Amino acid sequence: MRQQQDTVQQEQDTVAKTVKVLVVARQGVLQQALVELINYHKDFEVVSLLEDMHEANRWLQRGNAHVLIMDWPLSDVWELNLIGEMIARHSGLVFLAVSLYDDPYLVKQALGLGVKGYVSKAMAAELMCTALQAVYEGRQFCSPDVVDMLPDSFLENIEIGSQG
């Protein structure tokens, strides 16, 4: 009986440690690639795939996630406004941007809105789980190719990813 209780407790502990990830990306190919990368790691679970921030906002009214990964830049100004609202409304939710673009303006814009991490698509395969863990734990994170373009004054509290 004691062994069975220990097994149940271990299963509950494992479930409690799973980081729930919401993926918001317009392209089905990117969605599937992110799902494969994330679900490969035992500590992460994709809970939903959505195409835009409006869908994510509606989903969060009934669902729960720890990290929201989004394709950056967003498609319209309304989505930008939603990020601030969503951060205010869901205090336990953190945002991670994945982008094809390494424009310093876009990086500053994302981080300035409260996004915790920014990973280039070129480095997503190598750094996704590291980035997820960092932002989930409350740290800011950027992939090294993005950091190279930012002024030093902007990098004070940002963890720079490194390839394993």
Give per-residue pLDDT as tens, 12-49.
444 456 999 999 998 778 788 889 989 888 999 999 99
Tell me the per-residue pLDDT of 65-79, one tens digit each, with 9 for 90 and over.
999 999 988 777 788
The answer to whether position 3 is within a domain reads no
The answer to whether position 12 is within a domain reads no
- 5 confidence band (pLDDT: 50, 70, 90): very low
The answer to whether position 4 is within a domain reads no
Q: What is the CATH number of the domain that holds 129?
A: 3.40.50.2300
- 140 confidence band (pLDDT: 50, 70, 90): very high
Please give the model's pTM, rounded to 2 decimal places: 0.83
Look at residues 122, 126, 142 and name the one whose alpha carbon lies nearest to residue 134. Answer: 142
**Does the structure show a pLDDT above 80 at 63?**
yes
The answer to whether position 1 is within a domain reads no
The answer to whether position 162 is within a domain reads no
Range of the domain at 76: 17-152
Number of separate domains in the chain: 1
The answer to whether position 8 is within a domain reads no
**Does the structure show a pLDDT above 70 at 2?**
no
What tokens were used for 33? 């690639």
Query: What pLDDT does 163 receive?
Result: 52
The answer to whether position 164 is within a domain reads no
